[in-house]
Structure 1
């Protein structure tokens, strides 16, 4: 299994902080792992944790 997680903070011109969370996960489908199912997700929140 392969996976990664990224967390970041951005600042925009309106003095607002934004938080980003990105994740990726690969699941092998074939026994030799030559075929995988890749899933990705991204979430963005502001400083009040509103999505």
Structure 2
């Protein structure tokens, strides 16, 4: 949870506190797991990207 909280702080610092989470797009190497669940629960748009 501490890592997710730090990510939210980073996003808010760069995008502004009033940024709509639906405007944030995250590319990540997997389409499942605790990070993906936490990001989608926060309203971010999450896409799995093949690292190759």
Could you state the TM-score of these two structures normalised by the residue count of structure 1? 0.21
More strand by share: 1
More helix by share: 2
| Greater relative CO (CA pairs within 8 A, separation 6+) | 2
When Rg is computed on C-alpha atoms for both structures, the one with the higher figure is 1
